Structure 1
Amino acid sequence: MPITIEIKGPIISNDDAWIYEWFEMDATSPKMVSSALSEANGDDVIISINSPGGYVWDGSEIYTALKNYPGHVEAQIVGLAASAASFIAMGADKVRISPTAQMMIHNASMWGYGDHRGMTKAAEMLKTTDRTIVNAYALKSGKTADELLDMMAEETWLDPQMALENNLVDEIMFMDNSVKMVASASAGAPSMIPQQVIDGIRNKMMNEKPKAPEASADLVTKDSLKQLFEEFKNELKNGIKPKEPEQAPAAKRNLSKLFLNL
């Protein structure tokens, strides 16, 4: 019997996973998927997807893990496979979509700052990212890179029949024909915690408590974290930028995170 692995909520980094766990929010990190694949130990797996997308590089890690898995992988799009989640689905041997589900593909985006040279370089980086993402769609669909890049640039939403016609899925679940789907509704999918909120929470905890959440579990309550989360959300809503943690020199900082998210 196949083992089911869920890819739910935003695609996040391993470092951010514990924050989502504290707030009991659905999210998927590469480590979660890799661990589940290791436990499956070569048995057939079903990847159940309902995700608005998230970080590109973490999505790429998940995609690669699925492609490298020695057993048969079937992706089932049960709600939404948007952005990074859509190319994660391409890592499966077979992709099936529910008649009530949707896919969405679009260009990568990022947060950044700097002078005109930095912005020009960032734009080139995003173009390169789009060209790498399109490889996953091209390998699955057989469509040309130019065709797919045009679809990404237009932020293309696909109902099950459109996804099937574009060879991005192999089958519409529960159906033996190609009846076009017409019902549509807003996604309402879980969104990512704003990076400013994550940074603010980290900064406060680093200043007041031990770094490792496990070591400070007796000092931090879920209610206090939720209260802190609401405070940062209100600050962002009112246009107040939360205090950010001190940053390392530019040469030692990681590149800005790339997003494929609603």
Structure 2
Amino acid sequence: MPKKIKLNGPVIGDGSAWLYDWVGIPYISASRLSKELDNARGDDVELYINSPGGMVFAGSEVYTLLKEYTGKVTAKVTGVAASAASFFLMAADEIKMSPTSQLMIHNARNGAEGDKNVHYSNADMLSGTDVSITNAYRLKTGKNMDELLELMNKTTWMNAQEAVSFGFADGILFDEENTLMTVTNSISGEIPPDVEAKLRDVLISAMLKDGSKYNDRSGLFAGLDLSSIMPQITNSIENQNEEQQESAEPQNKEEKQPMKLEELKAQHPDLYNEVVNLGVTQERGRITELNALATAPGAAEIVAKAISEGKTAGETAMEIVKASAERVANEGTRRNNDAQNSGVGNVDSDEAPGKPDPEAVSKAEADALTAEINNMIGGRK
């Protein structure tokens, strides 16, 4: 049987342990845990954790002791694992959350007195400490440092489902049949990364297909009807758990109404703004490319129409080339008719009469068309 170790109370340094012992307050310290692990003699242990956190460096010492222990370490969060307790928790080989428990991560903090140099130094120390803490989270979750620092900066609270979804825990206690549904967003309002990726793909694909225009005054896409893709967005958010759990049995559900654009903007403003900003950048790039073609002779009207109709620069360039070819051919015909009407063909010449060389005429027309295309693209070949 695994040895059970109860870790309740704040995480404190060994120097303060005597005071907590004297007043009878439960605590977590490296020395106390070390004695428990020595008594376990390498056998498997189960940690029962309910702690609001405490001293970062004391938590680091506890983390190291658990990582070095030779037996299997299973951690069970019975109440809360917050702050320093959340990162020493990451040392366990397996982490289980009680269905009613919580996990919280945030930035390191302390108090300081002194001049500006003391505060600058303190700020640097805290920034470095935050990065150090992410190392424990990174080894467990696989998330990168920037993702973790963002979660810490927002002081992210996670219930059991969210802790598992984000990779901070491996399972939920008493949920052997995996019946608890995974939630769609964290307490901080963040959308899980897999759902965010799906939504981004759906929205961006719709924008590119629609060829929408961006209205700088209203801040909205004038040509994009997001209501047509709301059922896809709703399904991505509400059915993500069913897609992840291949073994889950189909369940009868009431038909849900598609999420409205206003609801997406209100519930997930960061994703909404990110998609809109990306669309703005793409649209402005398209217009810039089109305007670069407008310098070609006769191209201004074609470009203006292409901008309003949402056409790409490639499509528009082909229209300009076609129009240029027709213009050159028409110009050649017009000049030939002018020559005939002028009667120049009836004027005697000192040279022997003859017809124009067909190859020379074709070459002249080709040279004219080439000049038109080069002028359109700025002379690039």
Task: State the alpha-carbon separation in 2 of the partners of residues 133 and 23 from structure 1.
Answer: 31
Matched-pair contact (CA < 8 Å) for 1:99–1:181: no
Greater C-alpha radius of gyration: 2
Matching residue of 2:181: 179
TM alignment of 1:64-83, pairs within 5 A: 64-83=64-83
Matching residue of 1:95: 95
AA at the equivalent of 2:16: D
Matching residue of 2:281: none
TM alignment of 1:124-203, pairs within 5 A: 124-175=124-175, 176-177=177-178, 178-180=180-182
Task: State the alpha-carbon separation in 1 of the partners of residues 9 and 98 from structure 2.
Answer: 17
- Secondary structure of 2:74's aligned partner: strand
User: Offset of 1:53 from its aligned partner?
Assistant: 0.1
AA at the equivalent of 2:122: A
Identical aligned residues as a percent: 46
Q: Could you report, residue by residue, the CA deviation over 1:171-218 in whole angstroms, capped at 9, with x for unpaired residues?
A: 001113242479xxxxxxxxxxxxxxxxxxxxxxxxxxxxxxxxxxxx
Q: TM-score, normalised by structure 1?
A: 0.68
- Secondary structure of 1:104's aligned partner: strand
Matching residue of 1:44: 44
Matched-pair contact (CA < 8 Å) for 1:160–1:181: no
AA at the equivalent of 1:46: E
Please say which of residues 162-171 and 20-29 is displaced more in the overlay. Answer: 20-29
Task: State the alpha-carbon separation in 2 of the partners of residues 53 and 181 from structure 1.
Answer: 25
Matched-pair contact (CA < 8 Å) for 1:159–1:181: no
Matched-pair contact (CA < 8 Å) for 2:165–2:182: no
Task: State the alpha-carbon separation in 2 of the partners of residues 79 and 181 from structure 1.
Answer: 19
Matched-pair contact (CA < 8 Å) for 1:97–1:173: yes
Q: TM-score, normalised by structure 2?
A: 0.47
Task: State the alpha-carbon separation in 1 of the partners of residues 108 and 90 from structure 2.
Answer: 17
**Count of aligned residue pairs for this structure pair:** 182
Matching residue of 1:236: none
User: Offset of 1:164 from its aligned partner?
Assistant: 0.4
Please say which of residues 19-28 and 117-126 is displaced more in the overlay. Answer: 19-28
Task: State the alpha-carbon separation in 2 of the partners of residues 19 and 111 from structure 1.
Answer: 22
Higher helix share: 2
AA at the equivalent of 1:149: L
User: Offset of 1:116 from its aligned partner?
Assistant: 0.2
AA at the equivalent of 2:69: Y
Task: State the alpha-carbon separation in 1 of the partners of residues 134 and 48 from structure 2.
Answer: 22
Matched-pair contact (CA < 8 Å) for 1:48–1:76: yes
Task: State the alpha-carbon separation in 2 of the partners of residues 67 and 126 from structure 1.
Answer: 24
Task: State the alpha-carbon separation in 1 of the partners of residues 88 and 46 from structure 2.
Answer: 13
Matching residue of 1:254: none
Matching residue of 1:12: 12
Task: State the alpha-carbon separation in 1 of the partners of residues 6 and 59 from structure 2.
Answer: 14
Matching residue of 1:255: none
Task: State the alpha-carbon separation in 2 of the partners of residues 59 and 181 from structure 1.
Answer: 29
* CA RMSD in angstroms, aligned pairs only: 1.2
AA at the equivalent of 2:181: V
Task: State the alpha-carbon separation in 2 of the partners of residues 6 and 133 from structure 1.
Answer: 23
Matching residue of 1:108: 108
AA at the equivalent of 1:125: M
Q: Name the CA shift for 1:38/1:78 in 2 (closer, same or farther; >3 Å).
A: same
TM alignment of 1:185-224, pairs within 5 A: none
- Secondary structure of 1:109's aligned partner: coil
Q: Could you report, residue by residue, the CA deviation over 1:43-80 in whole angstroms, capped at 9, with x for unpaired residues?
A: 00001100000000000000010000000000000100
Task: State the alpha-carbon separation in 1 of the partners of residues 89 and 143 from structure 2.
Answer: 16
Task: State the alpha-carbon separation in 2 of the partners of residues 8 and 112 from structure 1.
Answer: 28
Task: State the alpha-carbon separation in 2 of the partners of residues 152 and 116 from structure 1.
Answer: 25
User: Offset of 1:111 from its aligned partner?
Assistant: 1.7
Task: State the alpha-carbon separation in 2 of the partners of residues 180 and 102 from structure 1.
Answer: 15
- Secondary structure of 1:90's aligned partner: helix
User: Offset of 1:26 from its aligned partner?
Assistant: 1.1
Moved over 6 A (4+): none
Unmatched 5+ stretches in structure 1 = 183-262
User: Offset of 1:113 from its aligned partner?
Assistant: 1.0
Task: State the alpha-carbon separation in 2 of the partners of residues 98 and 39 from structure 1.
Answer: 26
User: Offset of 1:6 from its aligned partner?
Assistant: 1.3
Correspondence 1:57 to 2:57? yes
Unmatched 5+ stretches in structure 2 = 185-381
